Every structure is written in C-alpha cells, then in structure tokens.
Amino acid sequence: MSFTSLGLAPALLKALETEGYSQPTPIQKQAIPAVIAKKDVLGIAKTGSGKTAGYVLPILHNFQTAPPSQYREPTVLVLVPTRELAGQVRQVFQTFIPSLTNRPICLAVSGGVSINPQMQAIGKVNILVATPGRLLELIEKNAVRLSSISTLVLDEADKMLNLGFREEVDRILALLPTARQNLLFSATLGEDVGLIRQLILNDPQVIKIAEEPEATDPINQLGYLVSEEKKGPLLRYLIKHGDLKQVLVFASSTLKVDGIVNKLLKNRIHAAAIHSKLGQQARNFTLQQFKSGQLRVLVATDLLARGIDIEFLPCVINYELPRSPKDYLHRIGRTGRAESPGDAISLISPEEMDHFKVIQKKMGTRVKILSGDQLDLQGY
C-alpha cells in the first residue's frame, strides 16, 4: 500500500515523495484515513513506528480542504510530555506545511524558556503544540483561549500520565469545547491511558499495531552483572574497548547523570548531560551535538527517554535500571529504529537482579547476562 491510497491531498503526497517517504507504516495506514474522516482515534504502537506523521499528515490534509480559521485562537491542540517532543512534533508539522496552499501556523510552547516570546507569537496560531504546564501558564495570563479547539491530540499519553500530568490534563480538558475530534496516541495501554480513553474518546477507532514484546525485535539486548562500584569502570571499558562512537546512557537522577559525565570526562571520553535542570538552550545544543556525531556519549534521565529521536542510534546503555518495565522499553527503543539493528546494554547490580527478571518477564524476552567481574577493568 502507498500513501496515494490513503486519501491525502496531492500537495502532501508530493511532499512525502520529496522527503523520501515511500510506504506508510502500519499505524499510518489505519490512522490517516480515520483522522481525515474526523473520527476519534486510539492509536497504540511502539516507539519509532511513525505515530506523529500518522496524525500530522491528516490534520494538515483537513486544513488544506478547509482553510485555517481567521480567529485569533488555535483550532488544533497537541499535548506532549516534554520540551524536546514538543519541538520534534512541531518540526514534523513544519516539514509539510510549506507544501500547502492554505498554510496553517504552528507553534510549540513549553517551559524552560521565557514565556514572553511565546505570548507574543501565540496570537495567530492555528496549531498549538504544548506541554501542559506551560499551556496553563499561558491560559492564566490570558494569552490563549481554547474555545475554538476542534481537534485534540494527546501524544505519548502513557508517559504524560506516568510523569504526573493527570491533574493538569484534566484542567485543560475542562476548558475545551465538548464537540471536538480526539486523537490519543501511546506506546502502551496502561490503566491510566484506559481511563483517559473512557473520559475523552467518543466511539473511537482503536488501532493497536504491536504488543510490547515486539518492541525489542531489532534490538540486541545484553546484560552485565556487576557490583555498583564497578559500574563506572565497566561503562568506560565498554565505550573504549568496543570503540563505541555514539552512546546514549540512562541513569535515574540528575545527580547520578552529572556524576557519570564527570567521570567520563576525566577519562577523556567526550560526554555531556541532558536533564530537566539544564536550560532549554543548553539542552538543544547538547542534543544537536549528539545527533550530529560531535558528542560521543550523552547521559540522560528518564524524562528525556522520549524526547531523543535519532534514526540510527547504535547503542543504548542502562547504567541503572528504570523503575518500570515500560520505561525500560522506551529507553532501549531509542535504538533499533528504522529497521536498523542496535545494541541495548544493561549494567545490573546484584540488588537489581530481581527487578531485571521482572522486566524480562514483562517483555517476554530472555536477555543474556554476562559477568562483569570476569573482565579486566584495571585502568578504566
């Protein structure tokens, strides 16, 4: 099946060809016609499956067939959990908007930067991509109203609710028109997402593409059983001995992330941290360096697990295991994308072993575990 059969406007089909998109992904095949038809959609598909384009393209198609509103209020609202994801979603919109005759204006707003430029830019916006907290700030300052929203998208809904956005999302939902199209996309369908589905979706088309165990198919997983004090030397050994060029390392806290980066730098490994305590400009710069290959190692917290989208990332290392098996899947899902194989390595202390067994059980995958104590870590 090609994009031609999905009912998209010719201008978008031409843009897809220009951008090198040849075949729609499974989620796109089902979501695009449903969104064009103004149906509510619940889309469940693994990370990296093309969910964003699955709603961006049909939303823009509907703008092409019905010109953007001249009112000073957005008609499309996309809620996302992180600043990085807000920027990425806006970029997908911006990739295709220039191809349209009727060109909507898209703006991404999030915290970590001054609110004043966002207040000035929001006046003539048609499509608003926002993190919940910053959106509520803008509403409280009377910078934006949501009374004209005709399409609502909750992207990465499971992560939003896991990060404690539920109260903020409820406040936003209360400000929206009752009659609207609702699109909910998630990598997993947990209890919280199921509840949100009941609250906001009206007779939705449910699209479930992949079970969680499938999310690890292109990923080569390996574990090292190692004492906590030897995790640092083992990490440096793996990077140097394996001559790894682009490595994303996950840790559980900003303090731990900064500590790992300091040790890597002392051992002449070019590394940087990315977490919520850094300003947006610094985060953008660091992420761009990593994507372009100028930075060898990026160390991040779970908050950034879904905001780092690199098509051919070769290696992810879990310095510490996440609390949730779902977060484990989202971490390792940064690699093995676009049908390219990737490596996911976990450093597991004896105290974490029982938890890792739970993660494997939830995945339905058995991970090979080696002994880190058998490696010669002297000098690392």
Q: Is 379 left (phi over 0), alpha (psi -120 to 50) or beta?
A: left
Q: Are residues 171 and 279 in the same domain?
A: no
Q: What's the CA gap between 59 and 75, in Å, rounded? A: 11
More confident call, 244 vs 211: 244
Q: Are residues 161 and 223 in the same domain?
A: no
The DSSP-derived string for 52-114 is HHHHHHHHHHHHHHSPPP-SSS-SEEEE-SSHHHHHHHHHHHHHHGGG-SS---EEEE-SSS-
Q: Given this model, what pLDDT does residue 163 score? A: 66
Q: What's the CA gap between 125 and 122, in Å, rounded? A: 5
Domain contains 343:
yes
7 contacts 33 by C-beta, under 8 angstroms: yes
- Tell me how far CA of residue 364 lies from CA of 83, 114, 207, 218, 353, in angstroms: 32, 45, 22, 15, 16
Q: Are residues 105 and 172 in the same domain?
A: yes
Compute and round to an integer the Cα radius of gyration of the chain: 21
Give the 3-state secondary structure of residue 122.
Answer: helix
Lowest mean pLDDT among 119-123, 200-204, 247-251, 296-300: 200-204
How many domains is the chain partitioned into structurally?
A: 2
Q: Are residues 308 and 262 in the same domain?
A: yes
Using the 3D structure, point to which of 159, 194, 209 is the last residue of a domain: 209
CATH classification at residue 186: 3.40.50.300
| Residue range of the domain that includes 129 | 3-209
| Distance from the Cα of residue 352 to its chain's centroid | 26
Q: What is the DSSP letter of 324?
A: S
Q: How confident is the model at residue 350 (pLDDT cuts 50, 70, 90)?
A: very high
Q: Are residues 203 and 230 in the same domain?
A: no
Domain contains 19:
yes
Using the 3D structure, point to which of 209, 232, 248 is the last residue of a domain: 209
Q: Given this model, what pLDDT does residue 352 score? A: 94
Percent of the chain whose predicted confidence (pLDDT) is above 90: 53
Q: Are residues 246 and 199 in the same domain?
A: no
Whole-structure pTM value: 0.64
Q: Are residues 246 and 330 in the same domain?
A: yes
Domain contains 356:
yes
Domain contains 170:
yes
Domain contains 379:
no
Residue 329 confidence (pLDDT) above 70: yes
Q: Given this model, what pLDDT does residue 307 score? A: 57
Average pLDDT, the chain: 87
Q: What's the CA gap between 346 and 62, in Å, rounded? A: 44
Q: Are residues 163 and 263 in the same domain?
A: no
Q: Given this model, what pLDDT does residue 216 score? A: 46
Residue 141 confidence (pLDDT) above 60: yes
Q: Are residues 205 and 329 in the same domain?
A: no
Q: Are residues 180 and 327 in the same domain?
A: no
Domain contains 380:
no
Q: Are residues 155 and 256 in the same domain?
A: no
More confident call, 60 vs 101: 60
State which H helix or E strand residue 237 sits in. helix 231-241
Q: Are residues 200 and 76 in the same domain?
A: yes
Domain contains 128:
yes
Using the 3D structure, point to which of 164, 182, 209 is the last residue of a domain: 209
Domain contains 342:
yes
Give the 3-state secondary structure of residue 247.
Answer: strand
